[in-house]
């Protein structure tokens, strides 16, 4: 990526914690390539964040390659965007310490995901789990990103990054751009197919609750056919009273571009079975080319490593300039 000073910068990252779900794809990855012409985009596989939960080293390495391959397969062009692995750029963790010293304990203790993950992993409530939102702020602020594409559940992290940047700027002078959350207008939060009042997650104990991007046609169709709806048989968009049907309609809306009114007319009197089959079919037709590209990229390890190495070199070169500025502002000794 050649930096263009007239363009705003975008940063977003995704953890290498297994195959992406349909929710990851719709809420994040699918939208990232669409930003490449309008913004200078920086995308990272954030492997350091994954360590807040105990990881098997060999599995983490494998999944990091897979996550990078999926980003490229989804349409991210390394000639237009930076694609790199977070741990390959030491600036993130170096900046994180300084930002941590400008973050209040109370701010971190209020973070929703800390509470959720602490409850899920009570045997491993580690310091990284508590402070990782500061590392996330460093990810964003290291590139002076203007926009951060996130799902609605991640908005709190961008707000924390803004608070930290604002505090640092007030104490040391204008340094950081104030980032803003860039939330997709549609599909920002895809819900579980089995419990449509909660977010789709691959950690769900019920495998029918989520679609994985590498699921084959049979698995996709089966999971949609088993999706929970309701008993009245009317295809109508009403999130509060018909969450299951509304979730299916939301997915169909994303992949077809049809409005909810058009979808209601299309399936008027048709019943849920027809809707589920149509949704499953359009999801598979969209994912199949992505799956093919993913398999081709993952099998060419030399190409994948070349992209990641070049991406990290450019990321370091850009973010190091900002880190030097931060070091100077806080009073660290620097030699010419």
Catalytic residue of the set 199, 242, 276, 314 = 199
Q: How many angstroms separate the CA atoms of 206 and 270, rounded?
A: 28
Is residue 325 annotated as part of the catalytic site, yes or no?
A: no
CB-count burial class (<10 Å; 0-12, 13-18, 19+) for 169: middle
| CB within 8 Å of 256: residues ≥ 6 apart | 263, 282
Find residue 84's DSSP bridge partners.
Answer: 44
Is residue 155 annotated as part of the catalytic site, yes or no?
A: no
For 93, the token pair is 């963790």
Consecutive H or E run containing 275: helix 272-299
Catalytic residue of the set 9, 117, 223, 276 = 117
DSSP H helices, 85-154, are 91-100, 105-109, 112-120, 127-141
Catalytic residue of the set 80, 155, 189, 202 = 202
Structure-token match 């751009």, residue found: 177
DSSP H helices, 226-271, are 243-256, 260-266
Is residue 336 annotated as part of the catalytic site, yes or no?
A: no
Consecutive H or E run containing 45: strand 40-45
Find residue 181's DSSP bridge partners.
Answer: 148
Q: Point out the residues that are catalytic.
A: 117, 199, 202
């Amino acid at each position: 990526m050649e930096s263009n000073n007239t363009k705003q910068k975008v940063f977003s990252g995704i953890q290498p914690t297994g195959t992406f779900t349909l929710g990851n794809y719709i809420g994040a990855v699918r939208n990232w390539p669409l930003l490449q012409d309008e913004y200078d985009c920086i995308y990272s596989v954030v492997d350091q964040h994954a360590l807040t939960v105990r990881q098997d080293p060999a599995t983490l390495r494998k999944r990091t390659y897979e996550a990078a391959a999926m980003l490229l397969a989804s349409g991210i062009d390394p000639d237009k965007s930076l694609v790199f692995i977070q741990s390959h750029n030491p600036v993130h963790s170096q900046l994180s310490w300084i930002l941590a010293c400008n973050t209040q304990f109370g701010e971190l203790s209020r973070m929703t995901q800390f509470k959720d993950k602490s409850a899920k992993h009570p045997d491993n409530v580690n310091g990284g789990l508590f402070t990782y939102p500061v590392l996330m702020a460093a990810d964003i602020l290291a590139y002076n990103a203007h926009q951060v594409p996130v799902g609605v559940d991640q908005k709190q992290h961008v707000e924390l990054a803004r608070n930290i940047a604002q505090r640092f700027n007030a104490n040391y002078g204008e340094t950081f751009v104030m980032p803003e959350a860039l939330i997709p207008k549609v599909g920002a939060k895809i819900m579980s197919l089995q419990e449509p009042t909660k977010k789709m997650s691959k950690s769900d104990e019920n495998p029918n609750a989520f679609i994985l991007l590498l699921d084959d046609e049979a698995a996709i169709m089966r999971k949609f056919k088993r999706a929970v709806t309701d008993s009245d048989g009317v295809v109508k968009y009403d999130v509060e009273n018909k969450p299951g049907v509304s979730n299916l309609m939301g997915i169909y809306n994303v992949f077809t571009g049809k409005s909810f009114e058009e979808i209601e007319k299309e399936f008027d009197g048709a019943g849920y079975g027809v809707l589920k089959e149509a949704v499953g079919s359009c999801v598979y037709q969209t994912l199949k080319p992505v799956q093919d590209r993913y398999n081709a990229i993952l099998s060419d390890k030399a190409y994948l490593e070349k992209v990641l190495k070049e991406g990290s070199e450019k990321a370091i070169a850009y973010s190091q300039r900002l880190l030097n500025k931060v070091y100077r502002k806080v009073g660290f000794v620097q030699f010419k």
